Amino acid sequence: MRIEIPAATLAAVLLIAAGAPVAQIRGTTGGQTPPPAAQSKDEIKLDESTTLKAAALEARASALLANLALAQRQFQDMQQELQKILDERKALILDAAKKANVEVKEPLEWALDNKGQRYQRVVRPSPR
């Protein structure tokens, strides 16, 4: 699933995320720029191009995380739905077996035969 992001929205996010370099794009008034402050060991200064790339990467990562959260929720919903189906199937098999006087130890060992309109026991080889 891919989320379409309008170009204007993406541009706005990039401009907001870019912060200080946006002022450089617009141009500064006053002629001279202040000398760069001493760089701390806890930060990495980025040029304009790298800042835009970093902001775009952060936006992509954020969108991907949102998609993963959505997919996880959908997966949980599908798991719950599958459990409901399996419970209904078990009840159906047990009811039909009771009417036909057949012993059912494990409902998962029965497969539906559509042509014969019946459930048949499926013997699976044991793992070695």
- Residue 34 forms part of a structural domain: no
106-123 residue pLDDT tens: 998 999 998 889 999 998
CB atoms within 10 A of CB 27: 6
For residues 94-107, give the mean pLDDT: 93
37-87 residue pLDDT tens: 666 789 999 999 999 999 999 999 999 999 999 999 999 999 999 999 999
- Residue 76 forms part of a structural domain: yes
- Residue 23 forms part of a structural domain: yes
- Residue 53 forms part of a structural domain: yes
At 125 the pLDDT is 78
pTM above 0.75, yes or no: no
In the chain, the number of structural domains is 1
Q: In what helix (H) or strand (E) does residue 35 lie, and over which residues does it extend?
A: none
- Residue 32 forms part of a structural domain: no
Domain that holds residue 77: 7-27+45-121
- Residue 38 forms part of a structural domain: no
